[in-house]
Amino acid sequence: MMKTMLKLLGYLAIAVVCAGALAASAYYVFDPKFSNGSKAAAGKGQAAEKGHDDHDEGVKLTDAQIAAAGIEMLTAGPRELRDILRLNGMIQPSQEALVKVTPRFPGVIRSMRKRLGDKVKKDEVLATIESNQSLTTYELKAPIDGTVIDRDGTLGEFAAEARPLFTIADLSTMWIDFAVYRRDFARVRVGDAVSIDVGDGGLPIEAKIDYVSPIGTSDTQSSIARAVVANDGRLRPGLFVDGRVVLSARPVDVAVRTSAIQTLEGKTVVFVRDGDAFAAREVELGGRDADWIEVTFGLLAGDVYAAKNSFVIKAEIGKGSTSHDH
């Protein structure tokens, strides 16, 4: 009898354990939390697989094809993102190294020895004038080393004491005067960095704002911010330039040209060169300025990417996808 009771108790225990296991299985299968989680996990796996396939899409281009398409190749890396204020400026001779040369005595001009644009040395003869008072000829000499930037007189003409015959300027240092409108007065300060595009195809000239005028100009309703720049021959008085005043700067670890960013199948991508092919690399973006944009995920410093005309690669990938579908 005792043995029979023990056997029944054992069967009962096994039954309880099996029932519990079945209940747990049913809870896991039918409970929405677990079923949705399983679907989400499966969806993520499919998305990851699909994303992997998207990143594997690419196109091969030779160096000759890259050059013909005008695709600019740059290397991703650290960069300063800058808050920029664009200003229009004009090149002026430094007024601190400019002299107007007038006759000492009124008289008739007997010779004009220097022309517009000539370089002169201090005490070099510029002209000779016959004095009306003594009827003797005296020499008009250059007071400084420099360049003749203005000449107002001809042979045989009467020269008066109040009228300059020559203007001489030392062009080794130039003033770049930028027009700042009243809405930006508070933004531009002495010491701000400014990048000056001369418009000759050369690199910008990096300088600083040396002077901000406290006085406005009535006809333009603007004020002057001035940079004093050493002249290597690129700066000529009277020409216009473009300036970019750096109001603030923030360093980032990886940045690319804004023109490199494309959208492919709803994803933000950069086309990265790997060997002889370009692959679409999905990226996450951060801050930006007028020319550069931060990449927070998807690129490493040192990656070579298509910066200019990257849309050409996008079009080639699109052609490949179309032909594959057909």
Q: Give tens-digit pLDDT for 206-227.
A: 999 999 999 999 998 999 999 9
Write the CA distances from 185 to 209, 215, 218, 228, 243, integer angstroms.
Answer: 13, 11, 15, 19, 15
Query: Residue 34 — very low, low, confident or very high, per pLDDT cuts 50/70/90?
Result: very low
Q: What residues does each domain of the chain span?
A: 57-81+251-325, 83-94+172-249, 103-169
Length of the chain: 326
Average pLDDT on 290-313 reads 93
Q: What per-residue confidence (pLDDT) applies to 135?
A: 92
Average pLDDT on 179-185 reads 95
Region of poorest pLDDT, from 44-58, 63-77, 160-174: 44-58
192 close to 243: Cβ distance less than 8 angstroms = no
Query: Residue 63 — very low, low, confident or very high, per pLDDT cuts 50/70/90?
Result: confident
User: Any idea what DSSP says for residue 260?
Assistant: G
Please tell me the class of the 103-169 domain.
mainly beta
Query: Residue 36 — very low, low, confident or very high, per pLDDT cuts 50/70/90?
Result: very low
Q: What per-residue confidence (pLDDT) applies to 11?
A: 53
All residues at 6 or more sequence positions from 150 whose CB lies less than 8 Å from its CB, including other chains: 116, 164, 166, 167
244 close to 86: Cβ distance less than 8 angstroms = yes
The Cβ of residue 97 has, within 10 Å, a number of other Cβ atoms equal to 17
Average pLDDT on 255-276 reads 93
Q: What per-residue confidence (pLDDT) applies to 320?
A: 62
Instruction: Check whether 3 has a pLDDT greater than 50.
Output: no
Average pLDDT on 142-156 reads 95
3-class SS of residue 265: coil
Q: What per-residue confidence (pLDDT) applies to 19?
A: 47
Average pLDDT on 307-317 reads 89
Cα separation of 256 and 294, whole Å?
7
Instruction: Please state the CATH superfamily assignment of the domain spanning residues 83-94+172-249 in this structure.
Output: Efflux pump adaptor protein, beta barrel domain (2.40.30.170)
Cα separation of 241 and 199, whole Å?
7
Is CATH 2.30.22.10 correct for 57-81+251-325?
no
Q: What is the mean pLDDT of the chain?
A: 84
Cα separation of 166 and 183, whole Å?
40
Region of poorest pLDDT, from 37-51, 75-89, 123-137, 155-169: 37-51
The beta strand positions in 183-298, using DSSP E, are 193-197, 205-208, 211-217, 222-230, 240-257, 262-264, 267-274, 277-282, 284-288, 292-297
Instruction: Check whether 181 has a pLDDT greater than 50.
Output: yes
